[in-house]
Amino acid sequence: MEFEKPLKSGFTIYSKSGCPNCTKAKALLKSKNLLFKAIDCDEYIIENKETFLLFIISLTNKEVKTFPIIFYDGKFVGGYNETVKFVDDLLLAFDANF
């Protein structure tokens, strides 16, 4: 099974069914009109959890076992809480440039 890589631009959210923080992260990005791609990881976890976790480690350079797993422009941001701060900082930087 080949795992989908994060987008090179914009947000990528690796999520799973029933994850409240995954739902909150998607709602946050929608509320700020930020584009994102959500990748449903249910099949990855069921079919090959160990290999999927190794794939995530290869992208993040750390062990990540909770969802959501969020990237911006292909770089690891973190989970929901880290993304809230990242989005606030991103929008502040954007406003400062205009």
Domains contained in the chain, CATH given: 11-96 (3.40.30.10)
93 band by pLDDT with thresholds 50, 70 and 90: confident
pTM: 0.93
12 band by pLDDT with thresholds 50, 70 and 90: very high
Q: Report the interhelical angle of 20-31 vs 80-96 (nearest 10°).
A: 10
pLDDT digits (tens, 9 = 90+) for 27-58: 999 999 999 999 999 999 999 999 999 999 99
Burial of 60 (0-12, 13-18, 19+ CB in 10 A): middle
- Measure the CA–CA gap between 41 and 18, rounded to whole angstroms: 12
Q: End-to-end distance of the chain based on CA atoms, in angstroms? A: 44
